[in-house]
Amino acid sequence: MPHIIVIDKTGTIKSTNVKDVSAETLYKKAGLKSGENFKLQHTWNKSNGLMCSISLYAKTSPVRAGTENKYDFPPPVDNTLFFGSCVIVRQNLELTEVQDLKEPDWNEIYESLFGGFEDIGVNDSEDESENDDDDVGGPRTKQNYVKDGFVVDDDECDDDVYLSEEEEEEKPIRKTKPRKNATQKHSVPTQNPNPIQTTQLIEDRLDDELVEEEYHVGLQPA
pLDDT tens-digit readout, 92-150: 999 999 999 999 999 999 999 998 755 555 455 555 555 555 555 566 666 666 665 55
What does the mean pLDDT of the chain come to? 76
Domain boundaries, the chain: 3-113
The region of weakest confidence among 16-20, 41-45, 64-68, 215-219 is: 215-219
Position 31 pLDDT exceeds 90: yes
Strands (E), the chain: 3-7, 13-17, 38-44, 53-59, 83-91, 98-99
- Number of Cβ within a 10 Å radius of residue 88: 22
DSSP for 158-173, written as a single string: TT-----HHHHHHSPP
Q: Residue 134: which region, alpha, beta or left (left: phi > 0; alpha: psi -120 to 50)?
A: alpha
User: pLDDT value at position 186?
Assistant: 47
**Mean pLDDT throughout 61-76?**
92
User: pLDDT value at position 47?
Assistant: 94
Q: Is 92 in contact with 46 (CB distance < 8 Å)?
A: no
**Mean pLDDT throughout 65-84?**
95
> Which pLDDT tens digit goes with each residue over 148-199?
555 555 555 455 555 556 665 665 555 555 555 544 444 444 555 555 666 6
Mapped onto helix, strand or coil, the DSSP state of residue 68 is strand
Name every residue whose Cβ is closer than 8 Å to that of residue 173 and which is 6 or more positions away in sequence: none
Mapped onto helix, strand or coil, the DSSP state of residue 202 is helix
Q: Is 49 in contact with 42 (CB distance < 8 Å)?
A: no
CA distance 101 to 88: 8
Q: What is the percent of the chain with per-residue pLDDT over 70, rounded to a whole number?
A: 52
**Mean pLDDT throughout 45-57?**
96
User: pLDDT value at position 188?
Assistant: 47
**Mean pLDDT throughout 200-220?**
62
